[in-house]
Chain A
């Protein structure tokens, strides 16, 4: 069981979200604590899978030029199996189970419209339990400030 987060932890998290490479020394000065204390808290946050400082590649630079959202309508009793099968697909970048209909919402990253159609027809609709899908094609991503991650 992990210990409770302190006020200092929350301040450090917020500061690192804004500036991931800010030095421990500068963070210590920001919050009136030693840099050793900051280092200890950051190590605690990382070790307990509360925080990760990582590199992210742009979708387009990764060759994913055709982003889309798909609402997936699933047969009764098949929600978890279908969600797992979708999560296993490389083209699926996010897979969430909802509280209603559609049962599952996925975000996808494919190279092209052709790749997307093949993915939808050959992979998604082939999963046992998928009744139908509705696609929203992304014309433009307007804000992407997701600093949340499921860290296991």
Chain B
């Protein structure tokens, strides 16, 4: 289980949120510590996968505005294999193994719904072990918290 950030690390996180390219020197000045202390703490947090620096882009501005949310029912013995195949697809940025009416949930993004439907029909629903799938077209995103992420092992 990952440790929660301590008070100093929370302060560091708050400084980096609006502009993570700020120099360690400036961060050190703000927190009244040495540049080395900042470097050390950043290394600790990123190595532990507790924090990461990310470049995030507005998808509409780069013609990636089509989003679908997909739920798959998969034969139990095939779940790991299907997840492995989905991981290889660039348009899929998020995958979870879930418990409930479905087994796998994922999100796909591309320049058009036509492109996403073509991908779904040619590469996903035909995967061996997939029983059925439901595709939900996302019309608008009301909220998306960007300060949190699932930072996974490589």
Contact = CB atoms under 8 A, between A and B. Distances in A.
Interface residues of A, number: 63
A145 B95 CA distance: 9
Contacts of B50: 57-58, 61
A149 B139 contact: no
Interface in A67-92: 67, 69, 83-84, 86-87, 92
A151 B145 CA distance: 10
A109 B138 contact: no
Nearest to B14: A55
Contact of A51 (B56, B140, B151): B56
A136 B150 contact: no
A150 B149 contact: no
13 contacts: A46-B19, A51-B58, A57-B5, A61-B5, A69-B96, A94-B144, A96-B69, A136-B105, A140-B96, A141-B96, A142-B83, A145-B94, A150-B144
A118 B144 CA distance: 22
A98 B151 CA distance: 27
Interface of B: 1-5, 13, 16-21, 48-59, 61-62, 64, 67, 69, 71, 83, 86-87, 92-102, 105-107, 109, 136-152
A57 B53 CA distance: 9
Contacts of B71: 136
A1 interface: no
Interface of A: 5, 10, 13, 16-17, 20-21, 46, 48-65, 67, 69, 83-84, 86-87, 92-100, 102, 104-105, 109, 134-151
B150 to A, nearest CB: 4
A56 B69 contact: no
B2 A20 contact: no
B150 A13 contact: no
A5 B136 contact: no
Contacts of A99: 136-139
Nearest to B145: A93
Contacts of B105: 69, 136, 138
B150 A148 contact: no
A102 B136 contact: yes
B5 to A, nearest CB: 6
B149 A57 contact: yes
